[in-house]
Amino acid sequence: MYVSSALRRMLSGLLLCSLRVAATQELRYPPNRIAVIGAGIGGTSAAYFLRQKFGKDIHIDVFEKDNVGGRLATIEMEGNHYEAGGSVIHPLNLHMKTFVKDLGLNARTPSGDLLGIYNGDEFVFQESEWFLINIIKMIWNYGLNFLRMYMWVEDILDKFMRIYRYQTFDYSFSTTESLLHAMGGDDFISKLNMTIDEAMQKSGFTQRFIDDIVVPAMRVNYGQGVKINGFVGAVSLAGTDSGLWAVAGGNKLVCSGLLYASKAQLIQGTVTSVQEKFRSTKPGNTVKLYEIGYVTDRGPGLDLYDIVIIATPLNKNLGNIEFVGFEPPIETSSGPYQQTVATFVHGRINASFFGCSKPCQFPLSEILTTDSPKLFIRSISAVSPVNPVPESDTSKASGLRVWKIFSPDVLTDQQLRQLFESYHAVKVRNWLAYPRYSPPEKIPPIKLHRAIYYLNSIEWAASAMEMSAIAAKNVALLSYHQWYGKDEHIDQEDLADRLKSEL
């Protein structure tokens, strides 16, 4: 009797013990199915990296309600296609570079245009064709501010580049803050808490330089002034570097290429809800899954997944997804997105609108603007098609070109007639383009639930193609390490020093 009850106690102890082991290792069977919501550069690169990380057997579905590419899109005008959304890529954006190479695509470099900065009355800055004249003008007007800006951005880029090394060595981060901290320490994090204006003043830039040169760069890249956070401001300034490029045929080709290479299944439909479900496999054993509700042309559908990656802004107007029955509730209302209208016009620009009286030499093909209430545009620049066609000399001589205008609102006919001497074709694309930044920035979490990840958290630090790709690789690594309990590859401190010795 005694012996057998002791034995029983021992046995049940053993059983409990093994159950506890099972509980901590609960998630360590391989996941079967992953859902990615959104087929922009974030979602498609996530699918690509998830395939690399989880291997060939896992099933990946990518949901897209609209077009593959998302904010990477072209617009067609008179038989040619032009970038209407995300257009230029920095030469040190290594993920984008690698995608283009691995997918067998080609880069194209937009032609070097002469730039002017207009304040509503006159040009505060105007590039000439002569390099030396440009340098003299820069120093005459702004002292060493240009050189200092170059070094300032260089220093930030240097730190930014560390992320590629971390990711190569399989390290991931559970929050956008810890990812930024690993790159640039407290210096990067504190940039989220101040405006680019404050950040640059602190570094000794003159107010004149900030108003004349920095504001226009923020306006063209992010449709906002220098009240945006210092990190996105620095990313925006890197966008003034030389060597910017784009993808021949259109940047969106990267998205369709990644999707194809990932062997994921594209489900053309709108995801409406995510809900947690428990399924018992055998008696006493339940697995936790997520049920995704969606609507396609053929009606509503439901599917179960182990891991869910959200690759769209969670915003009522963008990725309107309901998280059903989560306790505590999943907080999804991110801040507002900034409207930017891209207008394409084939016509002759009205040089006198920009204060150039006739007959007038107007060599500029890119005009940025300062923050002036007089102006209804943020920028206007001549653009070339994504598939380069030789520009005919006659059209150049006649001044007839395709211009891309960014403005906060849709332009009226009257405004177009002011901007152009004559025009014969107009195309408009209205975007909720990027977050409306307002430091101190509240960055949404990456991990929304046990195995739900939010890629677009990173946009609140800075929105750009490469940022989405970095976030995608991070989420692929993070979801893998969390699934298999590899904590030593999550949120590690001092990686910069620790990886120095590794080759």
Ligand X SMILES: *[C@@H]1O[C@H](CO)[C@@H](O)[C@H](O)[C@H]1NC(C)=O
Which residues lie near ligand X (CB under 6 A)?
Answer: 186, 189-190, 193, 350, 352-353, 418, 421, 440
Q: Given the complex with ligand FAD, which of 364 and 458 has the nearer CB atom?
A: 458
Q: Given the complex with ligand FAD, which of 205 and 454 has the nearer CB atom?
A: 454
Contact between 93 and 466 (Cβ < 8 Å): yes
- Residue from 31, 36, 60, 85 touching ligand FAD (CB under 6 A): that is 85
For the chain, how many helices (H) and strands (E)? Answer: 16, 21
- Residue from 213, 218, 321, 402 touching ligand FAD (CB under 6 A): that is 321
Token reading at 341: 């209208």
Q: Given the complex with ligand X, which of 77 and 189 has the nearer CB atom?
A: 189
* Number of shown-chain residues binding ligand FAD (CB under 6 A): 35
Rounded Cα distance, 48 and 473, in Å = 9
Q: Given the complex with ligand FAD, which of 64 and 366 has the nearer CB atom?
A: 64
Nearest-approach distance from CB 178 to ligand X, in angstroms: 13
Q: Given the complex with ligand X, which of 123 and 353 has the nearer CB atom?
A: 353
Chosen from ligand FAD, ligand X, none, partner binding at 421 (C-beta under 5 to 8 Å by type): ligand X
Chosen from ligand X, ligand FAD, none, partner binding at 468 (C-beta under 5 to 8 Å by type): ligand FAD
Token reading at 6: 């002791």
State the pairing for strand pair 265-268/246-247.
unpaired
Contact between 393 and 386 (Cβ < 8 Å): no
Nearest-approach distance from CB 463 to ligand FAD, in angstroms: 4
Is position 309 an interface residue for ligand FAD (rule: CB under 6 A)? Answer: no
Cβ neighbour number for residue 135 with a 10 Å cutoff: 12
**HEC profile of 363-427:** CCCEEEECCCCCCCCCEEEECCCCCCCCCCHHHHHCCEEEEEEEECCCCCHHHHHHHEEEEEEEE
2-41 mask for ligand FAD (x: CB under 6 A)?
-----------------------------------xxxxx
Contact between 437 and 236 (Cβ < 8 Å): no
Is position 383 an interface residue for ligand FAD (rule: CB under 6 A)? Answer: no
Q: Given the complex with ligand X, which of 98 and 352 has the nearer CB atom?
A: 352
Stretch that binds ligand FAD, among 7-15, 70-78, 348-356, 407-415 (CB under 6 A): 70-78
Q: Given the complex with ligand FAD, which of 334 and 456 has the nearer CB atom?
A: 456
Question: What is each CA distance from 288 to 173, 174, 305, 485, in whole angstroms?
Answer: 23, 21, 9, 16
DSSP per residue, 28-89: GSPP-EEEEE--BHHHHHHHHHHHHHH-TTSEEEEEESS-TBTT--EEEETTEEEE-SS--B
Contact between 89 and 465 (Cβ < 8 Å): yes
Is position 463 an interface residue for ligand FAD (rule: CB under 6 A)? Answer: yes
Chosen from ligand X, ligand FAD, none, partner binding at 439 (C-beta under 5 to 8 Å by type): none
- Residue from 182, 342, 382, 411 touching ligand FAD (CB under 6 A): that is 342
Chosen from ligand FAD, ligand X, none, partner binding at 418 (C-beta under 5 to 8 Å by type): ligand X
Is position 258 an interface residue for ligand FAD (rule: CB under 6 A)? Answer: no
Rounded Cα distance, 192 and 229, in Å = 5
Nearest-approach distance from CB 190 to ligand X, in angstroms: 4
Nearest-approach distance from CB 341 to ligand FAD, in angstroms: 9
Counting beta carbons within 10 angstroms of the beta carbon of residue 21, is it exposed (0 to 12), middle (13 to 18) or buried (19 or more)?
Answer: exposed
Chosen from ligand X, ligand FAD, none, partner binding at 352 (C-beta under 5 to 8 Å by type): ligand X
Q: Where are the beta strands (DSSP E) in 127-179?
A: none
Nearest-approach distance from CB 340 to ligand FAD, in angstroms: 5
Residues with Cβ within 8 Å of residue 46, at least 6 apart in sequence: 36, 309, 311, 455, 472, 475, 476
Residues with Cβ within 8 Å of residue 118, at least 6 apart in sequence: 124, 354, 355, 367, 368, 369, 370, 375
Nearest-approach distance from CB 403 to ligand X, in angstroms: 14
Chosen from ligand FAD, ligand X, none, partner binding at 465 (C-beta under 5 to 8 Å by type): ligand FAD
Contact residues: ligand FAD, CB under 6 A: 37-43, 63-66, 70-72, 85-88, 270-271, 311-312, 318-319, 321, 340, 342, 431, 433-434, 456, 463-465, 468
